[in-house]
Each structure stands twice: as C-alpha cells, then as structure tokens.
Structure 1
Amino acid sequence: MVVLRVGLTGGIGSGKSAVAARLAERGAVVIDSDRIAREVVAPGTEGLAEIVAAFSERVLDADGALDRAALGAVVFADEAARRRLEAITHPRVRARTAELAAAAGPDAIVVNDVPLLVEVGLAPTYHLVVVVETDVALRLERLARDRGMERAEAERRIAAQADDARRRAAADVLLSNDGSLADLHAAVDALWYDRLLPFAANLRERRVVRPARVELIEADPTWPRQYARLAARIRHALAPAEPRIDHIGSTAVPGLAAKDVIDIQLAVPTLADADGAFAERLAEAGFPRLPGEWWDNPRPPGSARWPKRLHGSADPARPVYLHIREVDSPGWRYALLMRDHLRADPDQRAAYLQLKRDLAAAAPDSVTYSTAKDPWFDEEHLRAEAWAAQTGWRP
C-alpha cells in the first residue's frame, strides 16, 4: 500500500514545528528529522564516533555527549565542514526515516519534518512539499525570544540555509506564518481536509483528478515552475532511467490563457516500455494510469491513429495529464511542434486564444471542447510545418 508522503520544511524560526504539531493533531504521522538527527549521534553511536573523528573532541560536552552549540559554531561558519557533517548524519537520518515511514499504517499520511529538505535536494522524493514562510524580522524576533539566540548567531543560521526564493521554487504549498497562531492553524486545517486527505485517498485508489468542465484562466507565470517540480518527481520515480520529459500544451506557451492543467510529455523507446513496472512506479509517485486505450488524432487527418499511454495526477489541487509517447513518433513530434510554433507566432497564438475562449463559452465539457478544436489544428499543423521548414526547427 502506498502512503502519501509529504515533505515539510521552512527556515529556522519560521514556525515549521507549529505546522507539524497541528498536522499531528489532525492525524498525520509526523517524522521529525531533527529528533532523528539527535538519535543517530547519541552517545555510543557510530554517528557520534564519526563526528569526533572528523571534528575532534572539542565538539563533546563534559559528559561525552555531542555539544550541538560547539558543533554549530564550527560548521555554520564553514561550508566544507557543514557538508562533511551532512555526509555523516544524512544517510543515517534517511535510513531511520525510511524505517519509521514503513511502520506507518496503510492509510497513513506521513509528514517528514525536514529543515534542510531543499538544501539537500529531497523535494522530488515526496508527493507534496509544504514550505512554511515567515518574514525574516519575525524569525529573528522568535529566535531571540524562544531560543535565546544572539542576533548575530541567528543571522548566520538563516544565511546558511536556502533563501525564501529557493524554498518557494520547491513548494507545492506555501504557508505564510506572518499572522497569528489561529491563522496558521486555519491554513493547516484547510490543507489537511481539502488536499491531503483526498490526495491520500486518490493515491490508494489509483484515481486521477480530471476536471469535468472547461474553465480558462489567465496565464499563470508559475506554470513552468510547477511543471519543473512535477518533472523532477517523474524523473525520481523512473530512475535510473533518464527519459526525455517536456512541458507541452497551452500552459507551456507564455501568455496563453488555458485550463489549469499541466500537460507533460514523457518519451519512451516503445509503448511496451510504458507498461508494467514503469506504470506502477508512476502510480506510486502520484501519477496513476488512466484505463483504456488512448491515442492522438493524426495530422493531416486520414491515417491511422497515433497511440499513446495517458496518466494523470492524484493531487486534487494540481491536475496533470502525462502523455507517454514513443520518441520520434509522429505524436511526440507534433506535440513539440505545436508548442514551439505557438510560442514563436504571436498571430496564431492570438487566434488560438480566441478559439479557446469561444469554445469554452459554448462547449464547457472537456470532451466537446477538445473535439471542437480539431479543425483549427488541422490547419495549424500545415502552418506549423511550413514554419518548421523555413526555420530549420527540430524537436
């Protein structure tokens, strides 16, 4: 049974622990990486012995336990030293985390509270990443008040971690903690009931989120970043294979209004490679396969259909269509050609946008909307091929 894995992170003093506590109250299995990090370097452990070998006994207190303040003074001012410490502790933390996650119940929602989730590149290993963000001035105030930390030390700690922009890029959910605790709890509760619980159920049932109605929204500048996070999860799920993955469809064309659905193309040597274990790994990563036969209508019309596999997203707040096509096949090439031509030709982009608006108003169900666009794409294909020949375009 696949359980929903949520990565929770935030800068020091952001209030991440308050979010973790609230999620635990709601029923999440919270795995605290800081607590595990203490366990793996407790007196008598191999982890502590390695730390002493690397940094000498100056990082021990009078009782022979790790003096975290002394160690912090060494590593937070020295990136090489910090990375040496991470090489000792992180593999042990990951191993213990995996043990605890495996022990969670089949219906569990497992939340990994990981302060350095972004810094060590763990975001693609989770179904969802939640980032707690708080104004730096508030963080400094809390660190002084709640931990008795000197301002200079607090500033060093904050500077040693990823900045807000880098954490935002990794965030599927951004929780602001600039307000009251009640405000934070309300945001966490909404996340739990509206997204995490249905996401977990969809994951267990291999259920894909499919919007029934066509609702166009204005171009969202975050669509490319959302695609990048999704593609990273897909790559992680399929490693060590390294298939080509592309952002396609309207959300891949800057400035184009679209349905809020991210279309992704995954290239495989043959469609048989997309079945079996391949499909299972995608489903476990949150991208179940849509049952039945799927194909693209050929351009120009009249020839045999272009077969593909189609997966989607189990995340109720982020619909996705994952189109799996054979590399160098007509359907694979066509998806890239249409995207690139619309990116390059503002007149055709405007014409397509008007068509989309007209059809969305007249045919709000997804099937009718998609079918009604076919005549326009039959003509657009000819224009795009002429453009490709003129410019020397290649996929």
Structure 2
Amino acid sequence: MHNQPTIESLTKQAIQDRRHLHQYPELSGEEFETCEMIRERLEHLGIEILDYARPSIIGFVKGTSGAKTLALRADIDALPIQEEGDLPYASTRPGISHMCGHDGHTAVLLAVAEWLAANKANVQPNVYLIFQSAEEISPSGAQALVAQGILDTVDAVFGLHLWQGLKKGTFGLTHGPMMASIDDFEVTITGSGGHGSSPHEAVDPIYISTHVIQAFQNIISQKLNPLEAGIITVGKIEAGSTANVIPTTAKLIGTIRALTPTAVTTIKQQIVQMSEGICQAFGATAEVEFIVGTPPLVNDETQARFVEQVLVDTFGEARVQLVDPTMGGEDFAYYLEKKPGAYLFVGMEGEVSAYPHHHPKFNIDEEVIPDAIRVFIEILKQFKEDAQ
C-alpha cells in the first residue's frame, strides 16, 4: 500500500464518494452501479471480496491474530423520493434520492476500508466490511445476508447512522433496545351487507371496526407490560362505496412498533384475539394478516459499553450520551438478533442538516463524516480479542 492515509485525506475522499453516490442513487435491490463502484475500490485496495449475492458486496481483511472476527456495516440504498433543494451534486435520477444518509454511510465505510488496507498490522481481529443492499424495504438486505450465513464466523457486529435527530457533534447509543420493530397488519372484517335504511337486516363491518380500533388501544394500556413501549396505529380504513349501503367487508390497515420481542409477540396475539372476539360477538368474522418487518434493534450490553468507552476515550465524555430509544426501525436489528454488537448515532442536527430523514430536503452535514470514520477505526483498533 502507498501513503499512510490521514483522517483528513480519508475525509476528503469520503466527501467526494458521498457526493458521487448522491448524484447517482439507486433504489433498494437495484444498487448494481453502486455495488460495482465499491467492488472496484475494494479490489484497488487489495481487499478480498467474498462470494455473497449482489447487489450487496462484502470485503474481508484478515487480522494479525484472527482469533476473533468483527463486522462493520453500511447500507447503500436510496429512497423513492424526489429531492428538493439546490445542491450542486443533487440527484440526477427523477424520483430517487439519498434522503436517509446511506450515501454517507457507504462513503464512511469505504474510507475505513482504505485505512484498513494500509493498517492491517494494527488490527488484531479479522474484519468483514458489509456494504448492504435494501435496508429500506422488507424483506430486507440484512435479512438476506443473515440467511446466507454472513455472521456465521463473526463474533461482534457494529453499525452507525448519521443521525439528524441528535445534536451535531454528539454521539448517542443505548445499552439495550435502541430502535423499534416494524410490522404492518391488515384486519379484514366480514359481516353481511344491506341497505342503510335496514341496519337490523345486516351485520355492519364499519360499525364493528370502530370497536376493534378502540380495543387496540386497550392492548397498549392494559395488556402490555407498562415498562415496555409499544404502538398500534391504524393508518388506513377501506370500506363502503356509497352513503346508503352497508358493505359486507371493512379492512383496517396499520402498523405495530415495539422495543422488545416480548412486546411484539403480546401485541400480535392480542390483535388476533381482540379482532376475532369482537367480530364474533357482533356476528361477523375477522381475518388478521401480518406483514412482518424488522425485529427490534437491541444493542448487546457488553458491546455497547465497549463502544461507549471508545467514544469517550476518543471524543471526550461531554460528547457522548445514552439516548432514549426511537420508535423508527432499522434492519441492522437482524444482525443483532444473531450476534452481539452495537449500533450508534452520529449526531448532525443543525443548520446544514435541518430536515428529518426521508424529507425531500434532507441533507447530511459533511462535517461529521471524519468523526464517523474515526469511530469505526477506533473500534477496530481497540477491540481486544481476549476482553470481549
């Protein structure tokens, strides 16, 4: 390897990479150009590329001892959102843009790959560099990689998110649940239709649906352990076609969020029980379907404390905080379901990054990129194989 890269040189390259990726975004499962760019870069650095299904791409670097193996992950997909704003490197693809920050995550991990290629002698564990497709959809890219055995020989896995919801210059993590599960549901209530003037001759699924929705709130307040967070939101109701006809069916469509696997199980069981029981009482039937998304993202306490110590040692205690979990979801949860590890937020909320994730005017504050690069590098340097 040629010159020893500095944080400054790595940052300069990362910003250049991020802006290129921002101009040429690709949707989940379609990131073949992005994948090709990463492949060329890793090959140029002399990093081995493992045999996993595209458009995810996995690099591998052997450590000095190789007794343990770490994985670092970046998500590479964009969103079906039309970018607004006037960035000189704005998306060139109508209706597709990096409005979540994955362009930044990819650029950061490419910078870490460059550092790693030049510093193999300073890293004990083996390292997987996971550039993961399809974080934004379900079934997700993480789920697919776990199914392919990506973590079979991995001892710990780490990820980060450039996070608009946290003040610039700070870092946030938890010692347990960090982000919520995401599952959607559809409840189809079948009664019997009739004329609006003769409700006694029909079984009205719209009326019944109001009772079912009310009962869902009872699940959160009465059935869930009050120390566990959960949400049931009915976001869409489909029923009826005109004012004076009682329809045969009504459909409730909504989402469930929870911070623990136990809470997810409780909520799902209760949705089925309440829906079927209430409908039966009114002479109707209920059919419940779950569209399973990501599980809760739960940091391993040991690895989270290790990352917290790395952050404190590197950036100072004042810049590190334990944050409240967020009810948004993230498919990094699939990795943490399988192996210990930790996920953290690199805060960037401020004048440059003023709009939330998935907003058409969302933007990364590139000034936080060097901190994100340093986090991953320090995790690799400070991971003690015998202490973990």
TM-score, structure 1 normalization: 0.24
Q: Which has the higher strand share?
A: 2
TM-score, structure 2 normalization: 0.24
Q: Which has the higher helix share?
A: 1
Task: Return the structure number with greater relative CO, CA threshold 8 A, min gap 6.
Answer: 2
